[in-house]
Amino acid sequence: MQRWITALFVTIAAALLVGCGAEPLQSEEDAYGNFRDAIREVETPEEKTALCEEFLKSFPKSEHTGSLAGAVAYYRGEAMEDPGGAVTVLDQILAEVDDPETRFQVQMAQFPLAHEIGRTKDLEAIVTELEVHRALTFSEHLEVGEMAAGHQLWSLAETQAAAASTLATAEAFRSDYPDNDLTDAELAAKADNRSVMAATNRGWALAHLDRKTEALEVFEAAAPLSQTNYLGVPSTELFAFWGRTSLAQGDAERALELLGPTAVLGDNDEAFEAYREAYIAVHEDEAGFEDFLWSARQDLAMVIDDFELPDYQGALNRLGDTRGKVVFLSFWFPT
C-alpha cells in the first residue's frame, strides 16, 4: 500500500521536473494512470484523500480536476467528517483554475460542504458564471435543481427544472451524446425519461412554492411517460412527490393510490411515512394499518417470469417447479 503512494509522489515529482528544465519522465496522463492504480490499492478515506489532493496540487488544471474535486468532497468532507478542510482544499483549486466548466464542477462539489460549515455560497452565481460561456446541459440543469431543492432554494429549483424540460427532446439527447447509435424509438424513450425527471423536480418545487394546483397538473401530465422497474415501482420520485402533494392538498384517498407502489414495494422512507399518514387521515387512526399494508402488498405484487438457474452442482432449477414453496433468492454482485 505504502509503495503505491510513494510511487505516485515520485511520478508527480518527475512530471514537475519539466518546470526546472529537465526532461519529463511521464506525462500528466501517465501520472493519472499511476494515481488510479494507487487509489485502488488503498482502503482508508485518509489514504484516498491524500492521493487525490496530491494529484490536484500537482495538476490543478487537468481534465480530471472536476471529478477529483468530487472525490475530495466525499472522502475528506463526508467520510473523514472534515467539511471545513475539504472546502479549504477546493478553495485552493479554484484559485488555480480558470476553465469555466472545471470551476463549475469544483464549486458544485464544494457547495453543500460550504453550506454545512456556515459559508453559504450563491448557487445562482455559480450557474451564471458558467452560462456566460455556454448554456447548461440537461444534466447540469438537473444537478443544480436538485442541489437547490436540497437546500430549499425552491425558486431556483423550479427555474432549473423548467430549463431542463426544454432539453427533454430526442434532438437534445442526440446532441449531448452524438456517438450513441440509438434508434428513433430509443431516442424517444430517452426524451420521455428526461421529461419525467424534469417534471418530477419542477412539480416538487412548485408544491413548495405554494403552487400546489400547478404542481399536480405537472405531475399528472408527466405520469403517462413514467417507467417502472420489474417490481412495478416508479423509476423516479414522480408518484411519491405527487402523492405527498395530494396529501398536503387534503386528498388522502388519492395520496394512498399514488404512493402505494413506492411506499409498499420500494425503499423510500418518506413515501412510506406519507402513506401511513394518508391511511390515518382516511381511517381516523392507525388501527388496522399493518393489515392494510399486507393487503396492499398482495394487490401490488407482480407475477414474475419463470426462469431457471444452476445450483452449485450445475443442476438446473426452475422457479415454476417450486410453486407452493417458500423460495429465497440471493443475488451476489448482479451484472
Q: What is the pLDDT of residues 305-322, one digit of tens each?
A: 888 988 889 999 898 888
Q: Hey, what's the cell of 284?
A: 381516523
Which sign does the torsion angle of CA 171, 174, 178, 184 carry? Answer: negative
By residue count, the chain amounts to 335
Please enumerate in sequence order all residues whose Cβ is within 8 A of that of 239, keeping only pairs 6 or more positions apart, or say none. 219, 223, 226, 258, 259, 261, 262
Q: How confident is the model at residue 10 (pLDDT cuts 50, 70, 90)?
A: very low
Percent of the chain with pLDDT over 70: 91
Tens of pLDDT along 69-108? 999 999 999 999 999 999 999 999 999 999 999 999 999 9
β-bridge partners, 234 = 228
Question: Does residue 147 belong to any structural domain of this protein?
Answer: no
pLDDT band at 303 (very low <50, low <70, confident <90, very high): confident
Q: Classify each residue of 290-324 as buried b or exposed e, where b means 16 or more C-beta atoms within 10 Å of its C-beta.
A: eebeeebeeeeeeeeeeeeeeeeeeeeeeeeeeee
**49 touches 75 (CB < 8 A):** yes
Q: What percent of the chain shows pLDDT beyond 90? A: 80
Residue 189 in any domain: the answer is: no
Specify if 94 maps to a domain: yes
Position 20 in a domain: yes
Is the CB of residue 245 less than 8 Å from the CB of residue 207? yes
- Helices assigned H by DSSP within the chain: 2-16, 28-41, 45-58, 65-72, 83-96, 100-116, 123-131, 138-150, 154-165, 170-176, 184-208, 212-222, 238-248, 252-260, 269-283, 289-300
Overall domain count for the chain: 1
pLDDT value of position 326: 86
The per-residue pLDDT for 7 is 47
pLDDT digits (tens, 9 = 90+) for 213-234: 999 999 999 999 999 988 889 9
CA distance 113 to 143: 16
| Tens digits of residue pLDDT in 112-156 | 999 999 998 999 999 999 999 999 999 999 999 999 999 999 999
Measured in whole angstroms, the distance separating CA 296 from the mean position of its chain's CA atoms is: 29
Structural contact between residues 8 and 52, judged by C-beta atoms closer than 8 angstroms: no
Domain of residue 8 covers: 1-134
Is residue 28 a part of any domain in this protein? yes
User: Looking at the domain assignment, is residue 82 inside a domain?
Assistant: yes
**Contact (Cβ atoms closer than 8 angstroms) between residue 297 and residue 264:** yes
Is 30 within the bounds of a domain? yes
pLDDT of res. 153 = 98
CA distance 262 to 200: 14
Report phi then psi at 234, rounded to 5.
Answer: -55, 145
Alpha-carbon gap, residue 307 to 205, rounded angstroms? 43
Query: What does pLDDT average to over the chain?
Result: 91
Report the pLDDT value the prediction gives residue 311, as an integer from 0 to 100. 83
Residue 42 within any structural domain of the chain: yes
Task: Tell me the residue type at 61.
Answer: K
Q: At residue 21, does pLDDT exceed 80?
A: no
